[in-house]
Structure 1
Amino acid sequence: MFQDVYDVIVVGAGHAGSEAAAAAANMGCSTLLVTMSLQNIAQMSCNPAMGGIAKGQIVREIDALGGYSGIVTDKTAIQFKMLNKSKGPAMWSPRAQSDRMRFAEEWRLMLEGTRNLDFYQEMVKGLIIENGEVKGIKTSLGIEIKAKTVVLTNGTFLNGLIHIGEKQFGGGRAGESASYGITEDLVAAGFTVGRMKTGTPPRVDGRSLDYSKMIEQPGDVNPDKFSYLDVTKPLVEQRSCFMTYTSNEVHDLLREGFDRSPMFNGRIKSLGPRYCPSIEDKINRFADKDRHQIFVEPEGWNTVEVYVNGFSTSLPEDVQFKALRSVAGFENVKFFRPGYAIEYDYFPPTQLKHTLETKLVDGLFFAGQINGTTGYEEAAAQGLMAGINAALKVQEKESLILKRNEAYIGVLIDDLITKGTEEPYRMFTSRAEYRTLLRQDNADFRLTPMSHAIGLASDERLRRMEYKQEKSEAFVNFFKETSVTVAETNPILESKESAPISQPDKMFKVFSRPQIELVDILKFEKVQEYIAEHNLDREVIEQAEVQVKYSGYIEKEKNNADKLNRLEDVKIPENFDYDKIKSLSYEAREKMKKIRPVTISQASRISGVTPADVSVLLIHMGR
């Protein structure tokens, strides 16, 4: 029925589990994906979209590393938007609306087409742990399946409890049962456990909405895509989203149900996501606001089901219905299902190494919401890295750890391991100190070579990346080496109210001016001729534009990152005795004993560790 011993067992088939299983199998490991429902692989439990601010960068990084999320999103997208185009390229963030049913179907088909990957549908009730080492899993039928490594990606299922008004019942997601047993085994092994909360809005019948009362939000005129591979072409046809607003009347109707809300009457004690609050939380915290945005998102090409983004709630269903009917365009709304909140177990991520392997149990990895994160993208990124590192451990190879200046994924994992989290963690561009380096357009340059080196990113990916890099660097050199005349340049500069030149100048210098955009540079005949001669595509042209216009910022961040890396190179021995350094502050000593930082750089990022503490450490280590 099963192999004697699998290299990797992945428990849970959400976004984290799917990426973990794909990565381990594609790296040549015998892999088993165990889930309670094979019909719900990679289900979009919340909104039917991938990407967004900072999250879009993560999806492109996953793709650059050889993960599946970008490809699946491109194949099932119904709308694409590049957010923040009015800002600098460090802030540009791709986002796609997906066909929810097709997204899950495509994930399953891609996983079924992956070699070395087996599937099994059943609840995992516990772990086999011997002498501080994971040996496999136990199922609800009493079956024991052996493994060299295990990756837990349980999402919201561990002792999950769903709340709708006064009603509460066990569940990991609407219509699916919770998972019991794993938490208890982990606590017995010495792990600290906590509780978190998340929520989701009602789903409604799009035929009952009046879109004429809403603001249409179409996709980009020239849509892009997520994957660096040409698996699919950019969208030609797209479906629009719509926007409407709540009102004081809506807020008053919602407040009538606050005494029945599990959030306010004490039944929910755990913390929810700060940056994706429920509608009752919003009107309570922002009482001065007389309206809040509601985004109306279609769930697919053919379904009439609609996701009401911005109306996440756990209020009684009658209150939800009454209040939503007072929103413009929702006067005749029909529910598919009410919104709900869910509480679930998570394990504070300071109990992990940067590989996402636990410190307490050898060979056991955690990824996704079990680590206290929120969002498909954050989960998928952790799953990918856990799958990679589980495979590398089995293969007795060096782990892959991404640094903060190499990837948003590196920032995400370092934040979790070093700082921990007591509320659902979400990625933002502001969390990345090197975001000019970590752009969505260059994730392949940053990550594909290192992924190819470990056997995950394909030869095709590497060839495409090298081609793009070669072409864009040559185009940048063309700008540096090509001069333009006063006669051809000044009309363009004057039209942009930029100071004219008095003698011929290098095109690079002209292009670097903040007022001058790509569309202006494309007016030069020399540029048009170069593009035609070298058959440059949009991706190469835009990459060269960023390299020219932001060269100063990029160089500055590279220098800052080099300084950081010097501290990253100063390793702290695994069993270092902090108690013997009496000049360390008490707080620094206690936190470093708990987190066990691997480098001086990581130690410097621990909350409560001061620059003086870092200096003491450096001196003690002969630096």
Structure 2
Amino acid sequence: FSFMNTGIRHLKQLPCWTCFTNEESHRILREGLPDSPLFNGQIQSIGPRYCPSIETKIVTFPDKPQHQLFLEPEGETTQELYLNGFSSSLPMDIQIAALKKIPAFRDLVIYRPGYAIEYDFFDPTQLKHTLETKKIKNLFFAGQVNGTTGYEEAAGQGIMAGINAHINCHGGEPFVLARDEAYIGVLIDDLVTKGVDEPYRMFTSRAEYRILLRMDDADMRLTEKAWKLGLAKEERYKLLTEKREAVSRITDFARNYSMKPALINPALEQLGTTPLRQGCKLIDLINRPQVTIDNIAEHVNAFKRELDKISDRKEEILEAAEILIKYEGYIGRERIIADKLARLESIKIKGKFDYSSIQSLSTEARQKLMKIDPETIAQASRIPGVSPSDINVLLVLCGR
């Protein structure tokens, strides 16, 4: 996904396969439940919701006669196939017996059986947004120990804890990413504000600013921050500034260049879009679904000359400019909402209130605010159980 990636590896495309469990395999699995640590009490914790074991599936969905399984090659040269959808804590002989009831698997050979893991974690509400513990200075927690599952989640926390541990040693402002700046910001804010009652996975649906957190503008959002921290080299920062300037030149040109109906209408009809009745700016044409920067430039010489000035990374720059033009209204609207909430992020309240003595707060809000001790009004507003009226009370007290 990196814009810096030049040596792309082309792996050979291999087929994956799908098949289904059936009533017979379910019967064998059900009979084996007394031997499952997930169901006989050996494992006490809650497993990951988004990749449940096969025995959890047959217990949770007893009405389902089958569950889909995916067979994924482990590599280009191996004979091994990964059986996705059949994770299990049952003994190996029960797993094999159940699988052999599926016609495609009657002759299967297992290299390694499915297995279950037991999660344990430290309550992440004991952490600051830097991932330093509130209890012990200079002790940072990152990864599954904070109640997450998945390696991207662990890596995201790891880099943030590492950055802030370094800052603690060498001086500087704590480094925290906001919810409108990165999915890492959403992940960490969710953990330290809401806590977890099951292994946490990062989903796009957990972010309220999905239009701002796009993969095409990750470099625009984060490279400058990395450069200021000393994590990105000068070369990477230079590539970013060149790209930003090129995108800006294209969007400014499109915003200011006027189109005349007589000159452009034949091209618009050729592109399958409505001809103009009166003049407009080029940007208004690019906003149309049938029109792209590339296909309209073929018919507007001045615009084509402008694009020809871009020698390197042209495809990447044109994609960035086109997204900004076509989705300008949506991006702008979401930015206004994010900026409103950012003002609440600037109101620091940590250590300012004795919540137990503020009788105008609801009992639940007092308990939650005492437990989390939020850094800002905005973080307080995201704590489950703290209502908008509780936030208004805090705002009034801040005003005083």
Normalised by the length of structure 1, the TM-score is: 0.60
Q: Which deviates further from its counterpart, 304-313 or 282-291?
A: 282-291
Structure 1 distance, partners of 2:326, 2:58, is: 42
The residue matched to 1:233 in structure 2 has which SS? coil
Give the one of 236, 243, 266 matched to 1:468. 243
The residue matched to 2:270 in structure 1 has which SS? helix
Q: 1:515 to 1:585 in 2, by over 3 A?
A: farther
Is 1:492 equivalent to 2:271 in the alignment? yes
The residue matched to 2:88 in structure 1 has which SS? coil
Q: Say if 2:181 and 2:221, in contact at 8 Å, map to a contact too.
A: yes
Q: Say if 2:132 and 2:138, in contact at 8 Å, map to a contact too.
A: yes
Match for 2:267: what amino acid? Answer: E
Q: Say if 1:356 and 1:365, in contact at 8 Å, map to a contact too.
A: yes
**Aligned 1:196-345 pairs, distance under 5 A:** 226-230=1-5, 232-249=6-23, 250-327=25-102, 329-345=104-120
**Aligned 1:128-139 pairs, distance under 5 A:** none
Structure 2 distance, partners of 1:590, 1:266, is: 32
Match for 2:22: what amino acid? Answer: N
Q: What is the percentage of aligned positions where both structures have the same residue?
A: 52
- TM-superposed CA distance for 1:524, in Å, is 4.3
Is 1:399 equivalent to 2:178 in the alignment? no
Q: Aligned residues, how many?
A: 393
- TM-superposed CA distance for 1:265, in Å, is 2.3
Backbone CA RMSD of aligned residues: 2.2
Structure 2 distance, partners of 1:559, 1:447, is: 20
Q: 1:328 to 1:614 in 2, by over 3 A?
A: farther
Structure 2 distance, partners of 1:399, 1:241, is: 47
Greater than 6 Å deviation, 4+ residue runs = none
- TM-superposed CA distance for 1:567, in Å, is 0.2
Structure 2 distance, partners of 1:608, 1:463, is: 46
Is 1:370 equivalent to 2:169 in the alignment? no
- TM-superposed CA distance for 1:588, in Å, is 0.8
More strand by share: 1
Structure 2 distance, partners of 1:520, 1:425, is: 44
The residue matched to 1:457 in structure 2 has which SS? coil
Is 1:479 equivalent to 2:254 in the alignment? yes
Q: Which deviates further from its counterpart, 411-420 or 531-540?
A: 531-540
Structure 2 distance, partners of 1:516, 1:321, is: 56
**Aligned 1:81-120 pairs, distance under 5 A:** none
Where relative contact order (Cα < 8 A, 6+ residues apart) is larger, the structure is 1
Is 1:588 equivalent to 2:365 in the alignment? yes
Q: Deviations over 1:224-276 (max 9, x none)?
A: xx22323x423334333513031324434433322322222222221011122
* Structure 2, unpaired ranges of 5+: none
Is 1:385 equivalent to 2:164 in the alignment? no
Structure 1 distance, partners of 2:281, 2:14, is: 43
Counterpart position of 2:398? 621
- TM-superposed CA distance for 1:514, in Å, is 4.0
The residue matched to 2:82 in structure 1 has which SS? strand
Q: 1:469 to 1:301 in 2, by over 3 A?
A: farther
Q: Say if 1:246 and 1:328, in contact at 8 Å, map to a contact too.
A: no
Give the one of 511, 534, 551 matched to 2:310. 534
Q: Deviations over 1:172-214 (max 9, x none)?
A: xxxxxxxxxxxxxxxxxxxxxxxxxxxxxxxxxxxxxxxxxxx
The residue matched to 1:297 in structure 2 has which SS? strand
Is 1:569 equivalent to 2:343 in the alignment? no
Structure 1 distance, partners of 2:272, 2:93, is: 61
The residue matched to 1:441 in structure 2 has which SS? helix
Q: 1:483 to 1:301 in 2, by over 3 A?
A: farther
* Structure 1, unpaired ranges of 5+: 1-225
Structure 1 distance, partners of 2:127, 2:40, is: 34
Match for 1:620: what amino acid? Answer: L
Larger radius of gyration between Structure 1 and Structure 2: 2
Structure 1 distance, partners of 2:84, 2:212, is: 31
